[in-house]
Amino acid sequence: MSSAPGAAPGPATFMAGCLARTPFRVQAAAAAAVGFASITIWPNIWRHARRRDSLTLAGMRAILDDRGLTLTDADGCSDWVPVPSEPGRTPGPMRRRVPREEFFEVCVALGGTTVVAVHLTDAGLDLGRDTEGFAVLCDEAACHGLRVALEFFPFSNVPDLGTAWRIVSDAGRPNGGVVVDLGHYVRSGRDDELLARIPPDRIYTVQLADGPATAPGDLAQEAMYHRMMPGTGEFGVAEFLSMLDAMGVRAPCGPEVYQRSFDERPAREVAGELYRALRDVGPAAPPG
């Protein structure tokens, strides 16, 4: 493996969704204190920092620099697909349609590389329309020196890796790639043959979670509130990491797990538990 901790294919990254209600300054301090090398950010976090904590983007960048952290992703942009007619149907913080220009501004100012794109709208999937929309998003991001990573999940309009990769490959943009979240990958039918065919440098971010082999009835609820720490379930996290390593994937990697109890615990304690889970779920030895 290329960097510490040993299980991660790339920089050990603190995923913002793990402490989505925690202020930016506190997140950054906690992530750095326990050993994470990088961090992601969500719109609600940067808006809170700017509006309530009176932090400028330059001030936020200084916090990252002072803590020895880099920003990887600004997550997740839906301003490339039709506007939902019923925005309230979109689960979680992603219900807010944040202008793509704001994603670009924040990502550049904080030294990030990647804008994560999501497809949550009741307009449904239209491959032609949405491939064109993704291509335009990539072109605009390229003007800012940024990449775009399309994230799939089974309760969105890009429900699996196959659909995500078709959009990315048909768009034909060199700065377009995918997020592979193990929880979504397993729950959407896991296709290791397809994953192995994707160029490793087009996998921009890897997110880890665990869970039981049998899926619950409500996948959105599981993803938001009931994920398990990597290595404590039946998703085969170590084997998955070994596969990525053999492929040559060197993407930022970290747990994306939120539990309601996190909000009542010190941020550093939660971040430490996440870091230890990432460190401890070492890649499996090859068979034979």
- The pLDDT tens digits of the residues spanning 231-263 come to 999 999 999 999 999 999 999 999 999 999 999
3 state SS of 204: strand
The share of the chain scoring above pLDDT 90, in percent, equals 87
Q: At a CB cut-off of 8 Å and minimum separation 6, what does 128 contact? A: none
Q: Which residue has the tokens 């030895």?
A: 285
pLDDT of residue 93: 47
CB 281, CB 240: distance < 8 Å: no
Domains with residue ranges and CATH for the chain: 13-280 (3.20.20.150)
pLDDT at 121: 85
pLDDT in tens, 89-130: 544 445 568 999 999 999 999 999 999 999 998 889 999 999
Residue 21 CB-density burial (10 A; 0-12 exposed, 13-18 middle, 19+ buried)? exposed
The angle subtended at Cα 218 by Cα 152 and Cα 196, nearest 5°, is 30
Confidence at 87, pLDDT banded by 50, 70, 90: low
Give the pLDDT score at 96. 66
Q: Determine the pLDDT at residue 1.
A: 35
Buried b / exposed e over 220-245, threshold 16 CB at 10 Å, is: eebbbebbbbbbebebbbbebbbbbb
